[in-house]
Structure 1
Amino acid sequence: MENVEVSFITINYNSSNYTKSLLNSILLNTKGASYEVIVVDNASSEEDFKNLSAQCFWSESVKLIRSPINLGFAGGNMFGVSVAKGRYYFFINNDCELLNDAASIFKEFLTTHSTAALVTGSVLDKENRASSSYKQFPHIAKQLFGNSVQRLFSKRKFPSNKVKLEHPAQVEVISGSCMFFDAKVFCEIGGFDTVFFLYCEEEDISKRVWDQGGQVYFVPSARIFHASGGSSSQETSLEKEYYISYFHLLDKHYGKLGRGLLKLALFFKLLFRVFKRRSGLSIFASMLGGFAKKDSLRYKQVIKKDCF
């Protein structure tokens, strides 16, 4: 496909019905930009992959590639990038649906804002709330004293996600479910860090955009529905996976004192949960083990021979 402006990249993992709805919404709503859709199947079951294959033949703009092993969020998206041809990359969860021509809105915004490199839109839940569209990076002041105090010390006065923004605004971290990138910037910073398997990729890559001198924006006129949880199961193992990623994030972006204070704050938080939650003791035990990367779900994946 020639002259592709936008490469949609999404990951399917045993949730082909969600992917079908996403594809329908892209084909229906994307009018103002030339595009391709790259669907990465992350080693789903054979039944789910067959169902997915049937959906992906609807349009010549849709390309389906299959991984023989579950690469997680970062790895799966990087697999998609390896075949993407667009000037822009639109990473979107398969349990999302476009509610308007979000790709064209994002493309226009990046075209007219030369310092912007990464944007998201109003990511709406079932109650039509956009509270998860953007958030803050983990900060010491935030963990110890709360968001309000943290913003007093912040060099950039990023808005709280509790504030309803009517106009585009710079934000610190955007939702990983909907990330629209200038492809050149994405490649220059090395793309997603594939050490992260499922969580914290958006915090990491948003900060790396800022560190490089780019800007991250929330553009409310682009609207995306996010069902949330389309490919997730096993709550306790996923919670442990989150903290494994969180520790990697702290180790990567903080010095010894900063990460020590943030981990100490988490220690007491999880200690109190031992008495409040069924999974509390198991999670706290993993904390005592340092949320070791060797315990990641990444190392519980198997290669599927039928993918070759």
Structure 2
Amino acid sequence: MGISVVMVTYESYPLTRRLLEPLVSGIGKELDEIILVDSASPDQTGKKLKADFPVINYLPMPENQGYGAAVNHGANQAKGDWLLIMNGDLEIHPAQISQLKELAEASGADVMAPLQETPEGNPIPTVRNFPTPTTILFARRSPLGVLLGSSGGYLCSLPDKTKGVNGFVGGACFMVRKKKFQEVGGFDPNFFLFVEDADLCKRLSESGAKIFFTPEVKVRHYWSFSTGQNALRKLRQQHKSLRYYFKKHFPNRRFSRAFLALLFWLQRGFFRLPGMKR
């Protein structure tokens, strides 16, 4: 039961090259293959990486259709029974990927997510409860969340051992059985960015799949919140994805969707206030 790594990249050649180098050494050993999906990078990131590492399977996207669509494109070409899905800004080594697979098989998990850390070694809260109007109202970057210092139950305490979770795990790095991923149709490509992981895990859970988290495997994620106008664009995209999520999973709760639209409008205004934490 082999492992296919599906890595998505966009305009990040220097960083992705550095992080890809140790992974390539695992091809034919811990890994069956590395599939690099480039989301139409203007700087030709994918072409450059293919030239540097001819052994990888390079799949260019004709245009940037978002993270989920890119992952689906790579997963459809994968040979392994297990998929290690990851961003191009994440540091993980072949032995760690093999360990994830061993932990998943030993626990009967269909999804196994590692502990993600910042470059400084701080844990990233990547285990979360599924979005609801209440959790969004008190989320840590909402007006009430900032004022009250609350996450509204959206963020979960990271388990201190390998165990199943009732919510979802972050989509930047996780291992999943290819069969299960395909059974639910993979990522919903209507999510361009953000919340696609919550939607996928919700559909997996509803299908009976077991979602696990393990702190035994620690990976570095070279990602941080941007500031200024770029951060505001990200916030708008997150709101767009959340609106679609609620329309999809709560089709009869029109009042909740109207309430969320008002909340998002307030949050964007709050976000612009001087001195607010981004």
Same fold? TM cut 0.5: yes
- Indicate yes or no: 2:100 matched with 1:106: yes
- Indicate yes or no: 2:208 matched with 1:213: yes
Question: CA RMSD, aligned part only?
Answer: 3.0
* Secondary structure at the counterpart of residue 44 of structure 1: coil
Which amino acid in the other structure matches residue 247 of structure 1?
R
User: Quick check: 1:99–1:225 contact (8 Å CA) kept in 2?
Assistant: no
Which amino acid in the other structure matches residue 238 of structure 1?
K
- Indicate yes or no: 2:258 matched with 1:243: no
Deviations 1:164-206 (A, max 9, x none): 5321122211011102101111111111111111111100001
- Give the equivalent residue in structure 2 for 1:174: 169
* 1:99 Cα deviation from its structure 2 partner: 5.4
- Give the equivalent residue in structure 2 for 1:290: none
* Secondary structure at the counterpart of residue 165 of structure 1: coil
Structure 2: distance between partners of 1:53 and 1:135 = 35
Deviations 1:249-296 (A, max 9, x none): 111111423x632651552363265255169xxxxxxxxxxxxxxxxx
- Give the equivalent residue in structure 1 for 2:116: 123
User: Quick check: 1:36–1:63 contact (8 Å CA) kept in 2?
Assistant: yes
Change in 2 beyond 3 A, CA 1:140/1:211 = same
Structure 1: distance between partners of 2:210 and 2:135 = 22
Change in 2 beyond 3 A, CA 1:231/1:23 = farther
Matches within 5 A, 1:251-262: 251-257=247-253, 260-261=255-256
* Secondary structure at the counterpart of residue 186 of structure 2: coil
Structure 2: distance between partners of 1:143 and 1:242 = 11
Matches within 5 A, 1:177-192: 177-192=172-187
Matches within 5 A, 1:23-62: 23-27=20-24, 33-57=30-54, 60=55, 62=56
Change in 2 beyond 3 A, CA 1:77/1:63 = same
Greater Rg by CA: 1
* Secondary structure at the counterpart of residue 68 of structure 1: coil
Structure 1 gaps of 5+ residues are 148-158, 280-308
- Give the equivalent residue in structure 1 for 2:128: 135
Structure 2: distance between partners of 1:108 and 1:121 = 12
User: Quick check: 2:135–2:154 contact (8 Å CA) kept in 1?
Assistant: no
Which TM-score applies when normalising by structure 1? Answer: 0.74
* 1:24 Cα deviation from its structure 2 partner: 1.9
User: Quick check: 1:134–1:173 contact (8 Å CA) kept in 2?
Assistant: yes
Alignment identity in percent?
25
- Give the equivalent residue in structure 2 for 1:67: 61
Change in 2 beyond 3 A, CA 1:55/1:247 = same
Structure 1: distance between partners of 2:262 and 2:245 = 16
Structure 1: distance between partners of 2:4 and 2:100 = 12
Structure 1: distance between partners of 2:128 and 2:43 = 37
Query: Which moved further from structure 2: 215-224 or 235-244?
Result: 235-244
* 1:46 Cα deviation from its structure 2 partner: 4.8
- Give the equivalent residue in structure 2 for 1:82: 76
Structure 2: distance between partners of 1:236 and 1:146 = 16
Which amino acid in the other structure matches residue 248 of structure 1?
Y
User: Quick check: 1:87–1:182 contact (8 Å CA) kept in 2?
Assistant: yes
User: Quick check: 1:120–1:217 contact (8 Å CA) kept in 2?
Assistant: yes
* Secondary structure at the counterpart of residue 101 of structure 1: helix
Which TM-score applies when normalising by structure 2? Answer: 0.82
User: Quick check: 2:46–2:58 contact (8 Å CA) kept in 1?
Assistant: no
